[in-house]
Amino acid sequence: MPELGRAALLVTLGLATYALVAGAYAAHFGRRRLARSAQNALVASFVSTAVGAAVLVSALLRNDFSFEYVARTTSRALPTSYTLSAFWGGQEGSLLLWLLVLTGFGAAAVTLNRAWARDLIVWVVPVFGAVSMFFAFLLVAVASPFATQAAPMDGAGMTPSLQNPYMLAHPPLLYLGYVGLTVPFAFAIGALLSGKLDERWLIATRRWTLFAWAALGVGQLLGSHWAYVEVGWGGYYAWDPVENAALMPWLAATAFLHSVMIQEKRGMLKVWNVLLVIIAFSLALFGTFLTRSGVVNSIHSFTQSSIGPWFLAFIAVTVAASLSIVFWRLPKLRSPTKLESAVSREAAFLYNNLLLLALCLAILWGVVYPMLSEAVRGEAVVLGRSYYDFFLRAFGLPLLLLMGIGPLIAWRRASFRSLATTFRWPTIVALVTGVVLLVLGAGSSIPGLVAYTFSAFVLTTIVMEFARGTRARKALGASSWVGAFTSLITRNRRRYGGYVVHAAIVLFAIGVAGSSAFDSVAEAKLARGESMRIGDYTLLYRSLNERETANATQIRAKLDVRRGDRDLGSLEAGKNAYTIEQQVSNEVGIRSDKLTGEDLFVIAEQIDPNGTVYFRVFVKPLVNLIWLAGLVFLLGSVITLWPDGREQRRLVARASTVGLPATR
C-alpha cells in the first residue's frame, strides 16, 4: 500500500514536470498537439494525486500504524470523523491536500476555459505545472506521508481541543482558500507570458477568486468561533502569526476583487491587478510557510520541520520570477484610460485598495518584525496586540467609511453637489446614531463610537440601494415587491451579492467594536454560596460537580445567573481533565442573549481542592453579531458565486468583440 502511494506521487511529479516543460515548449513554439498533451498531463496529475490521497485515507481508516503519519496523528480510540480529519492534521497530509486541491483546481480551470481562451490556456498550463511540481517534489523527497515503520500497538492520538467538529471544516476551508488563489495567479502569469493581456484572464478566474476568498473568509471565522467557545480565554482573535497568515492573503484578495471591477469597467489598474494577484498568491504560500516552519513564536507552534527553507526558496523564486515577467510586459500593460478625478468611483476603489494593502503590509511587517530585528539588531523584538489594534483602527475605520461611499459615488468625476444629494440621508442617519450613542454613554471608546457611526452610514447606503433598485424593478413591471426584490438580485448578482457581503462586514465591525471596545471583565474567588456582580448580572456559585466520562474527568461549577431581578437560570463552567493525554482544558460557560447579541462568558480559572473557585467573567456586548456576520457573508458570497450564464456570456462577448472594455 505505501508503495502505491509513493508511486502515485512520483507519477504526479513526473506529470507536473511534463506539464511545465512540454507545456512551455508547446506554448512558445505554437505546438498545438503538444499543448493539448500537457493539458491532459495536468488532468492526469489530479488522478494520480487522488490515488495517493486515497491510499492515505484508507490507511487512516484502517488504523494502519505502519504508516508513520497514521501512528503520529491518530489512535484506535479516535472517532472516525476525527481520524479522517487527521488527513490534514499533520504536515505531510496537509501538503498532500494542497497538491490534491491544486491539481484538481488546475485541471478544472484549464478544462473549463480551453474552448474560448485557448491561446491563454496554453501558457496557464505550465504555471500550474510549476506550482504542482514544487508540492509534488516536497511530498516525494522531503516530507513523504508514506514513510513506514514497524507498527506500534497504538497511535499517539490527537490533542483533545482539536477533537472538535470545527476542525473538520476550518483547516480544509483555509486550504481551499490558499490553493484557490493559485488559479488567478496561474491565469495572470499565463496572460503575461502569452502577451494576451485582455480581460479574459479576469473573466476566467473571477469565480475562482471569489470562491477562494469566500472559503478563506468563512474558514477564518470558523477558526475564531472555535477559539471563542473551545479555547476559552475570552477572545476570538489574538493577532497570532498563524492567524495573520490567513488574514493577509484574504485582505490582498479583497483588494483584487475590487480593483478588478475598475479594470473591467474602465480598463485601468492593469499592472496593479496583476501585482495584487501575485501578492495574494505569495502571501498564501507565505501563510503555509508560517504555519509549517515554526520560524516565529506562535501559540500554534506546529511541528518544526525541514520544509521551511524549501518554502522560503519557492516563495523567493515565485516573487522574483513573477515580478520580472510583469516588468518585461509593462509596455503591454498600459491603460487606455486615466483617472480623471480624485473624487470618483475609480478613486474611491483605489483608496480602498491602498488601505487594504496598507493594512495587509502593516500586518506582514508585524509578523516578520521579530525575524528582521533579530537579523539586524541581534535580538528578536515582538510587536504586541497594541500594534495590530492601532493599524486595524487607522486603516480599518476609513475602509469602513469607504464601503459606504464607493458603491454610490459617480464614475469618472463626481460633483460635490451630487455627493450632497447622494449622501444626505446616510450622513444624517450616521450623525443621529452617533449622537444617540454618545448620550447613551458610548463615548467611553472613541474608536468604538466612530465604528458605530460609520456602520450606520454604510448600512443606510446599502438599504437605500436595495430600496431604490427594488422600486425601479417594480416600476418596470414586476408583479409584486417580493418579485421585484428577487429579480433585482438575480439580475445583478455580483452587485447585490456584494452589498450583502458589505452588510456582513458592517455587522462584523459592530460585533468587534462592541465586544472589544465596550466589554467588561470581573474576577473573584468564590466559595460555595458566595456571589459576584458584573454589570447588572449577578452570579451565585451554587455547587461543584464531578463526572467521569470515557476519556476525561469533568469538573463543573454551577452558577445561578440573574440579571437585575430576572432569573436567567444556571450556567456551568469548569475543566476537563483528560486522563490519557494528561491535559486539562477549560470548558467555559457562555450565555448568549438572543435579543441583544450579548454574551455572558464565564471561565472557572482555578478550582481549589476545598471547592473554592477563581472565576473570571466577561460581558461581551454584540459579540454574536460576529457569528451572524459569518452567515450573512456566506449568503452574499453564494449570491455572487451563483452561476449566471447571462453575465458570463455578456462578459465573454465584450472581451472578444471589443477587446477593450467599454468606457462607461
Binding mask 321-350 for another protein (x = CB under 8 A): -----------------xxxxx----x--x
Q: CB under 8 A: which stretch of 100-108, 298-306, 618-626, 634-642 binds another protein?
A: 298-306
Binding mask 43-82 for another protein (x = CB under 8 A): -------------------------x--xxx---------
Binding mask 206-235 for another protein (x = CB under 8 A): --------------------------xx--
Binding mask 518-537 for another protein (x = CB under 8 A): -----x-x------------
What is the greatest pairwise CA distance in the chain? Answer: 84
Instruction: Name the grid cell of 412.
Output: 469618472
Q: CB under 8 A: which stretch of 85-93, 105-113, 402-410, 459-467 binds another protein?
A: 85-93
- Cα separation of 357 and 351, whole Å? 10
**Nearest distance from C-beta of residue 234 to another protein, angstroms:** 9
Instruction: Name the grid cell of 271.
Output: 499592472
**Nearest distance from C-beta of residue 428 to another protein, angstroms:** 28
Binding mask 105-124 for another protein (x = CB under 8 A): --------------------
Pick 373 or 543: Cβ nearer another protein: 373
What residues numbered 138-167 form the site for another protein, per CB under 8 A?
149, 152, 156-159, 161-162
Pick 358 or 410: Cβ nearer another protein: 358
- 575's torsion region: left (phi>0), alpha (psi -120 to 50) or beta? beta
Give bridge partners of residue 620 from the DSSP assignment.
Answer: 599
Pick 301 or 520: Cβ nearer another protein: 301
Q: Which amino acid is it at 192?
A: L
**Nearest distance from C-beta of residue 387 to another protein, angstroms:** 6
376 binds another protein (CB under 8 A): no
Q: Which H/E stretch holds residue 541?
A: strand 537-548
- 615's torsion region: left (phi>0), alpha (psi -120 to 50) or beta? beta
Find the helix packing angle between 385-405 and 493-517, rounded to 10°: 140
89 binds another protein (CB under 8 A): yes
Which residues neighbour 267 within 8 Å (Cβ) at sequence distance 6 or greater? 335, 336, 337, 660, 661, 663
CA angle 136, 139, 144 (to 5 degrees): 160
- Give alpha helix (H) positions in 267-332: 270-293, 307-329
414 binds another protein (CB under 8 A): no
Pairing of strands 520-526, 613-620: antiparallel
Instruction: Name the grid cell of 638.
Output: 453564494
Pick 370 or 511: Cβ nearer another protein: 370
444 binds another protein (CB under 8 A): no
- Of the candidates 408, 461, 456, which has an alpha carbon nearest to the alpha carbon of residue 433? 456
- Cα separation of 82 and 424, whole Å? 54
- Give alpha helix (H) positions in 476-597: 481-491, 493-517
**Contact between residue 576 and residue 546 where contact means Cβ atoms under 8 Å apart:** no
Among 369, 411, 425, 466, the residue binding another protein under the rule CB under 8 A is 369
Interaction site with another protein (CB under 8 A): 68, 71-73, 86, 89-90, 149, 152, 156-159, 161-162, 232-233, 268, 297-303, 338-342, 347, 350-351, 354, 358, 362, 369-370, 373, 379-384, 386-387, 390-391, 394-395, 523, 525, 575, 581-586, 603, 605-606, 614, 616
